[in-house]
């Protein structure tokens, strides 16, 4: 009998997070949650070119290699995002969602410093302080991240995109603060509750 995800997690050095199924979601994972967790992982890929490799390498440590034995399984889980070009028309089960939350938090941790720099740069751009502070190089790095996020999003989602380039830029910038949220203390629990805040059953 295959091990459950809960048992796998408990055998690692990672403390088992408390990720309970929220009330009023008996029909399964809401579409907005599936979209949000996938967008977070796209943002990670836009920052880290080796993100998918790092995800796959992290699975044994997280106790998720039984649940996600191959990269194909990972893509199938992410293709439950209803905006995906190759939408699976199936729902994530709760163990699969928990797995994606753990993955997002794990890969966000080493990006903490980069995320802070990108967020501060985006604030300086909004305040038109880049030239005065001599931070043109930082803006180029932010622009590169946003363009890569846009390219990844457009290549994977249904065409034509329902989001304009400006809206995708806003989404990319918003994902930075969400990823920073994922890189701190008690990140899985905090992200889990944040995903369901305002979600519709």
Q: CA angle at residue 195 from 184 to 87, to 5 degrees?
A: 120
Residue 102: how many other CB atoms lie within 10 Å = 24
Q: How far apart are the first and last CA of the chain?
A: 32
Angstrom distance (rounded) from CA 187 to CA 179: 10
Mean pLDDT over 90-115 rounds to 94
Q: For residue 14, what pLDDT is reported?
A: 54
Q: Would you say 77 and 102 are in contact if contact means Cβ atoms under 8 Å apart?
A: no
Instruction: Check whether 2 has a pLDDT greater than 50.
Output: no
Q: Express each pLDDT in 124-173 by its tens digit.
A: 888 888 776 777 887 899 999 999 999 999 999 988 778 899 999 999 99
Q: For residue 12, what pLDDT is reported?
A: 44
DSSP 84: B
Of 1 and 104, the structure prediction assigns the larger pLDDT to: 104
Residue 184, token pair as written in the block: 């701190």
* CB-neighbour burial class of residue 18 (10 A; exposed 0-12, middle 13-18, buried 19+): exposed
Instruction: Check whether 10 has a pLDDT greater than 70.
Output: no
Q: For residue 15, what pLDDT is reported?
A: 58
Helix or strand run (H / E) with residue 188: helix 187-196
Closest listed residue to residue 145, CA positions, set 123, 175, 124: 175
Residue 139: how many other CB atoms lie within 10 Å = 15
Phi, psi of 84 (to 5 degrees): -65, 145
Q: Express each pLDDT in 43-89 by its tens digit.
A: 999 999 999 999 999 999 999 999 999 999 999 999 999 999 989 78
Angstrom distance (rounded) from CA 37 to CA 147: 20
Residue 81, token pair as written in the block: 């995002």
Q: For residue 6, what pLDDT is reported?
A: 38
Q: Express each pLDDT in 13-26 by its tens digit.
A: 555 688 988 877 77
Angstrom distance (rounded) from CA 142 to CA 78: 25
């Amino acid at each position: 009998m295959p091990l459950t995800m809960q048992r796998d997690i408990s055998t690692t050095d990672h403390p088992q997070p408390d990720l309970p199924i929220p009330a009023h979601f008996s029909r399964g994972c809401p579409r907005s949650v599936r979209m949000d967790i996938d967008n977070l992982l796209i943002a990670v890929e836009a920052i880290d070119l080796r993100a998918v490799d790092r995800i796959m390498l992290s699975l044994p440590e997280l106790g998720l290699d039984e649940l996600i034995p191959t990269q194909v399984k990972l893509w199938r889980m992410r293709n439950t995002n209803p905006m995906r070009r190759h939408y699976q028309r199936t729902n994530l089960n709760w163990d699969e969602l928990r797995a994606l939350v753990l993955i997002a938090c794990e890969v966000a941790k080493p990006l903490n410093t980069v995320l802070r720099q990108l967020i501060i740069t985006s604030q300086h751009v909004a305040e038109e302080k880049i030239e005065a502070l001599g931070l043109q190089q930082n803006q180029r790095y932010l622009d590169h991240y946003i363009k890569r996020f846009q390219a990844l999003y457009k290549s994977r989602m249904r065409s034509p995109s329902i989001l304009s380039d400006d809206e995708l830029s806003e989404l990319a910038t918003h994902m930075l603060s969400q990823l920073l949220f994922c890189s701190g203390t008690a990140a899985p629990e905090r992200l889990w509750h944040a995903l369901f805040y305002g979600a519709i059953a």
